[in-house]
Amino acid sequence: MMMTQEEIIKIVASIFALAIAIIGHEIMHGYIAYRYGDDTAKRAGRLSINPIVHVDPVGTILIPAILYFTHTPFLFGWAKPVPVNINRVIHNGGYNGAIAVALAGVTFNFILAALLAAILPLFVEPESYTALFFGYFIVQGIIINVVLGVFNLWPIPPLDGSQVVLYLAQKLRWHSLAEAYEKIYPYGMFILFGILFIPQLSSILFVPASWILKILL
């Protein structure tokens, strides 16, 4: 069945919104690390806005495609992690610097979602295909950035939330907690996918995203 022009516009707008959200998220990790004296991401060419250097086959292509074709109410994914020498960051900025690097991506996502929500009223009644594209891009951008931000705050390795917990535990000398996180790190992806594919669990963890979206939309 051939798609309509409006459906094509919506798909393209969603792809652009997702790409900006996940690529911007990763670039900010590298940029904040760079501000703390770590040029690893810069030397690797990962502070570039070129989407090709950030593509992760699973997080950028497979997961969003599965979510789209299974008609989930939202899209999310992730880009290839930006390389960071966290020891150099800690040397220059302490554990506060490491926490800042860990939170840089979600901070970008939440700020972008808020900015998009501020201009959304300009596109509530699109009168052309161009306006329709931007309107759908903005709505999807808000949803994707909020979901991605909340998702990355889950305290499950290797998500950003787990890094915050780890560096905070190390800062406060909660050695048992830090050691526990380091032990479960190799199993984090299995735990994460288990949660994502159990609707009862994932829906609970995405409740904060629903609250935020009700405010912004």
| Residues tagged active-site | 26
C-beta separation of 146 from 214 below 8 A: no
**Residues 23, 81: contact at Cβ < 8 Å?**
no
CA 214 – CA 217 distance, rounded (Å): 5
For 54-205, list the strands marked E by DSSP.
none
Nearest of 119, 188, 105 to residue 150 by alpha carbon: 105
Nearest to 140 by CA among 184, 84, 85, 76: 76
